[in-house]
Amino acid sequence: MQTDFDYSHVSTTARVACYDDLKSAPRITEIPPADTTEYIEKLTTTVYEQARMMGGKIPYTLVREVSENFIHAQFKEIVVSILDDGNTIRFADQGPGIAEKENAKKPGFSSAIEPMKHYIRGVGSGFPIVKDYLDDRDGSIVIEDNLNTGAVVTITLEHSPSAERPSAQAKRSDGQASSSPSPSQRIPISSLYRLSPRERQFLDALMREGELGVTELKEITDTPGSTTFNTLKKLEEAGLVAKSPSKKRMLTDIGYEVAMSGD
C-alpha cells in the first residue's frame, strides 16, 4: 500500500464491462479520474444503471457499498463486470487484497484508516449490509483473490427471468399480443410523485450516503425529530424509501429513479 496516498482524489480510470453473453466482447465504459466523492458516485451510478438496463434487480445501495470498498485498494486497476442479465456484478481491483474474507462479511471488522473516513463510514458495515440483504433473497456475496494481487467481490441476486422480464409482446386475455408503450408514450417517473422540498432533501441525502439512520438523517438535513419521522413515513408509504437489513433507511429502486430525475 502506498503510505502517502492522496485519498481526496482518484487518479486512475475504472472500467465497467457489460456482458450481454459470453460469446462476444463486453461493452466497456470508462470512469475517468475525479475527486473521490464524485468518482465513487459516478462509478456506482454507472454500474447500477447499466445493470438495470440489462434487467438486473440488484439495489443501488448494494452497488454503492461494494464500490466504496475500492478505497481500501487505493482504486488500483478497477474492473467491474456485469453478467447474468445484470443480476451478477463482479468488482475487481489490484490492491492489497482481503486476507480475512469471512470476517470481512461480519460487522465491526475494518481496515479503514482516518483519511478514508472522509469518504466512507469506515466501521466495517459495508459487506455485512450486502450479505444480510442477499441472504434474505437467496443471493450471495463471494470474496476471492484476484489473479496476482487484489480482491474480487461478486454479488449475485437470484431471479426468475420469466417472472421479472415479461415479453414486450405480452399476451392479453383474449390471446392477442399487446405491445408495451414506446419510450415516447411512457409517463416520466418524476411526474408520478410530487415531492415537498424536504422530501426531496431526504431522497438526495439517501442517494449520496447509500443508507442512513433516522438520527443521521435528522442531523444531515437539520430537521426536527418528529418531522423526520413523518417525512420518512410518507416516503415509505409512497414506496420510495425502505428499511435496510440494518434497520436504517435506503432508497428503493423507484426511489432512486425519482431522486435521479431531479423532479
Other C-beta atoms closer than 10 Å to the C-beta of 134 total: 19
pLDDT for 192 equals 54
Q: What is the mean pLDDT of residues 130-147?
A: 93
pLDDT for 252 equals 85
CA gap 75, 192 in Å, rounded: 38
Q: What is the mean pLDDT of residues 85-91?
A: 97
Dihedral over Cα of 59, 62, 68, 70: its sign: negative
118 or 164, higher pLDDT? 118
Indicate the pLDDT class of residue 144, thresholds 50, 70 and 90. very high
CA gap 15, 130 in Å, rounded: 22
Q: What is the mean pLDDT of residues 167-192?
A: 41
Average pLDDT taken over every residue of the chain? 85
pTM, entire model: 0.69
What domains are there in the chain, each with its CATH number? 9-161 (3.30.565.60), 189-261 (1.10.10.10)
Residue 172 has pLDDT above 80, yes or no: no
Residue 156, SS3? strand
| Residues β-bridged to residue 104 | none
Of 27-31, 37-41, 50-54, 253-257, where does mean pLDDT reach its minimum? 253-257
C-alpha pair distances (Å), 161 with each of 44, 76, 85, 157, 166: 24, 35, 9, 12, 8
Indicate the pLDDT class of residue 193, thresholds 50, 70 and 90. low
Closest CA to 89 of 65, 63, 68, 127: 63
Could you read off the pLDDT of 203-238 as tens digits, one per residue? 999 988 878 899 999 999 999 989 999 999 989 888
78 or 164, higher pLDDT? 78
pLDDT for 189 equals 43
Q: Report the alpha-carbon angle 75-78-84, nearest 5.
A: 140
% of the chain surpassing 90 pLDDT: 59
% of the chain surpassing 70 pLDDT: 85
Q: Which three cell numbers stand for residue 232?
A: 420518512
